[in-house]
Amino acid sequence: MKDKKLDFIGFGALNLDQFYQLHSDKNTVDLIPLLKSGGERMGTDSERERILKIIDENSHLVSKSGGGQAANTSVALSRMGFSCGFIGKAGNDEMGDLLLNSLENVDKSHIQRGGNSGLCLCLLEDDGDRANLVFPGCNDDTKITDADINYARNSRVVHIASFCNTNLVALQLKLLRHLQDTKVTFDPGEIYSRLGIEKLKEILEYTTVLFSTSEELEFMTGKTPRNAAKDVLKCGTEIVVWKKSSYGSEIITSDSSIPILPVKVNNVVDKTGAGDVYAAGFIAGLLMDMELEKCGKLGSAAAAMSITGYGRDNYPDEAFLDSFFNSRSVL
């Protein structure tokens, strides 16, 4: 493990996130068919301009930020001082340039370019909840090479997150089959979770830590989250982190269950990406060989910090880590 070149590599979609605050008399369900508050769906190119017009008429743009589950986790870990890289694809357009710049110090040497960049419209309601409408663009055409596989082998952790094109599960599996000493973390999101546990079984076999919400666990198995977690562990996953939003989280293994209390936040601005930052904090704990409970507490503190700003504005950094270790939260 000491000879690994990078601490962490993310592998998933790259999107430009555009954040819109809905007018107070508007809600997501009324504006966008089949999209509910707190949910996510994929948009088609044919409806892109029409939906953008609807959103412009019923909200105002408040922020833009690089996005994508694995990309958010990569940036958060990088800011905390870990060496990070990324495998994915960005467009040959202005948005693609913005996406690469938004990855900051994350290594970008294995990001392909071509086509139109992915776009995620994040609709924010007054209570801080949000709904995401994703236009995947060139993410659907992501490929991997032998060089990408060797790159992933030379990392301590590879983090897999979903694409809108579920056919790319096979591509991610191709990578995982070549990993040996590298830990695998997996955040399936709603899109992959809806595929069901049978179609995710082989990825789960390689997974060290699964990060999943209550809804995602239920989508995956049709069972309650706790029973779903047991089924996931039977597939070979070592640790299930059940994300419970404002109720905290729970770390479940074959022989233990560890509840993690949420960190209270008074000034919630935007919950987008909070789960991705939780994962970054938890993975940071793993990289520092912390006990699972402390990993969960670090994840919870990181997520709490992230929701006090739009997008990646208030992601945790090295100062956050220092503060965490100097506080009672680590005890």
Confidence of residue 36 (pLDDT cuts 50, 70, 90): low
Stretch 92-98: mean pLDDT: 94
- Residue 294 domain-assigned (yes or no): yes
**Residue 179 Cα distances to 8, 52, 72, 188, 239, angstroms:** 13, 41, 23, 19, 18
Q: Is the pLDDT of residue 1 over 50?
A: no
**CATH number for the domain that contains residue 189:** 3.40.1190.20
Structural domain of residue 97, as residue ranges? Answer: 6-14+67-118+136-330
Alpha-carbon distance of 163 to 15, in angstroms, equals 10
**Region 25-48: what's the mean pLDDT?**
71
Q: Is residue 313 part of a domain?
A: yes
pLDDT band at 118 (very low <50, low <70, confident <90, very high): very high
Higher per-residue confidence, 81 vs 47: 81
In a domain, 156, yes or no: yes
Is residue 27 included in any domain, yes or no? Answer: no
Has residue 20 been placed in a domain? no
Question: Distance between alpha carbon 215 and the CA centroid of its chain, in Å?
Answer: 15
The per-residue pLDDT of the chain, averaged, comes to: 90
Closest CA to 214 of 248, 180, 183: 248
- At residue 2 the predicted structure's pLDDT band, cuts being 50, 70 and 90, is very low
> Per-residue pLDDT tens for 130-144?
788 889 999 999 999
* pLDDT-derived band at 128, boundaries 50, 70, 90: low
d(CA 118, CA 16) in angstroms, rounded, equals 6
Q: Is residue 51 part of a domain?
A: no
List the one residue out of 30, 224, 19 whose CA is nearest residue 129: 19
Number of structural domains (the chain) is: 1
Any domain includes 59: no
The answer to the question of residue 31 being in a domain is no
pLDDT value at position 249?
A: 96
Residue 28 has pLDDT above 70, yes or no: no
Q: What's the rounded Cα separation, in Å, for the pair 176 and 188?
A: 15
